[in-house]
Structure 1
């Protein structure tokens, strides 16, 4: 299965374009944002858990990255409410579930084999944030191959200060603009390596999940 699998091209999905597809587990649905492979795939998705739904225990050979968008997501007896960022390295395993229901942003099989760090960050913790002028940043993960953060931008602020080795964004609050094009809350955008000086926060500002650098050598 190939969905937006040419990483040399732009891709964008607005919430009104979401197509929810049932997963193999009852009560769990997903929006496939990009995908290379079948049920076990390199994939970026929005996943929705109905209350009381769960997956059986399983491993992630290529790692898994999660941002909890709403509700509460659980694994290993620990619950993570909206705002938590989880990173499970290659070879790790878990048994995910949600008693109250949850919506999460998930990236699968996109980590190098040598990555070993397990990350758990509560982005609601004010101590995690740093100010850069009027812009606030919550760093989530940094390596030679990628940088992941949540950025809180004032109105009119540019997202990028220079060229990037590819970028991926999920608008969490507010909106982004690129010229006349607007990307509202819950919009997902993927950009190949290049320069994007026209990407700016909208009139009420924007809070954005931002990953850069990871597409510099990406191929279908």
Structure 2
């Protein structure tokens, strides 16, 4: 079945990959996605950097990637930076403020990452109106205002010229914008409560096994009986 009017946009950590596997993709999940992607659109939308994806998702060949929470788009060998011209200067200023507070952080190609954050990091940037903060459980991503997974997948679809329906799959807070950009929202079974409450469909299985479940529903046409119109 060719489903070129459907684009599946899936988160990676705890959606395609399992934390107990250190987020390395399962062979069966990789094979299922690769087979699906040969004739259909499948996009990985993640907060991860490219360097981690290359290691954790080795051999995965989706239609494309939306990385760094929407800031970096990759289709085939082309890379698109979804950021305003002001961002490099702002990022430098953010780095200075984080260093002054002695907070541990890392730079991605575009955004800034902090792990296991317990304080209200937003207070440090309350005067920088072009900056936004996204949470993924206890981890934080600092990026340009208006850039997020939802914005990223819209840019991806625009580049591709895709005008069909988007099925979004996720598990955590930074998937909210992805859900808002989608026509049909799917939560894996291990998703946070707030994500399940937003979803049109909650899968029976966790992580990558849930992705296999979803792709089976799509390929069999069962997805229409489950609510996709």
Fold match, TM over 0.5?
no
Compare relative contact order (CA 8 Å, sep 6+) and give the higher one, 1 or 2: 2
Which has the larger share of strand?
Answer: 1
> Structure 2-normalised TM-score?
0.30
Which structure has greater helix proportion?
2
